[in-house]
Amino acid sequence: MLVWGVGTLCAGSSYQAFGYMIKGMGRASMSWTSWWEVVYMLLTVASVSLMAMAINASSAGGVWRKALKAWAILSFVAYALFALIGASLPNRFMVSFEAMVLFIIPGMLAFFAVNISRYLKTRQRSELLLLGAWVGMAATMGAYYAYYLAGVGPALWERGIWFSENDILHVGLIGWMFYLGLAVAPAIGDRKA
C-alpha cells in the first residue's frame, strides 16, 4: 500500500496539484501526459504485483503460490515495457489509465479466486475479508466505467457541477483504503497451512 500511495502522490502532482506547471508552463499547448503520470501507473502496477506476493504469504498454496509469484513478476515487467514504449513513441493508449487497468485485472481476478477457494476450504474470516476487498475494488471500477460510459460527468459539467468519473474512482478508493486499513489489515497474517 505504501507503493500505491507514492504512486498516488505522483498522480496528484501531475493531474491536480501541479498540472499546469508540469504539462503546460512554457509551452504553446498543454502536454497530454508527463513522466509523473507514467511513474504513477508503473507504481500502481508494482503495487498490485506486491499484493500478489502478500496474497501468496497469507492465502496461496501449491500451484497458486507459484502461479501468483510468476504472474507478479511477469506482469510488472510486461507492463513496464509496454508503458515505457508507449511514453517514448508517444502513444496515448499505452500510457492510459484504461491500459493500466487491463494489466491489473488478471491479478485481481486471481486474488479473488485464491481467496474464495481458500474461504470455501477453511471458512476463515481473513479470507472473507480479503474477498470483500476484491469485491470492493470491482465495485469501484464498475462505478467508474458506468459513470464514464453513461456520460454523467460531462452532463453535470454543463450544469456547473464538476464531478467526473475520476472523482467516482477516488471516492471509491478512499472507502476501499479505509476498509483495507480498518478491517482487513488487522485480520491478515501468514498462512499457517
Residue 74 has pLDDT above 90, yes or no: yes
178: exposed, middle or buried (C-beta count within 10 Å: 0-12, 13-18, 19+)?
exposed
Q: How many other CB atoms are there within 10 angstroms of residue 46's CB atom? A: 19
Q: Is the pLDDT of residue 192 over 80?
A: no
All three cell numbers of 72: 507478479
Nearest by Cα to 189 from 52, 58, 79 = 58
Report pTM.
0.87
**Cα dihedral sign for 183, 186, 191, 192?**
negative
Give the pLDDT confidence of 16-44 residue by residue, as tens digits. 788 888 888 888 888 888 899 999 999 99
Do 108 and 137 contact (CB within 8 A), yes or no?
yes
pLDDT band per the 50, 70, 90 thresholds, residue 10: confident
Whole-number Å distance between alpha carbons of 48 and 51: 5
Let me know: does 107 contact 46? Beta carbons within 8 Å: no
Does the structure show a pLDDT above 60 at 193?
no
**Is the separation of the CB atoms in 8 and 41 below 8 Å?**
no
Total residue count of the chain as it appears in this document: 193
Q: Which among 187, 185, 189, 153 is positioned nearest to 169, based on CA atoms?
A: 153
pLDDT at 29: 87
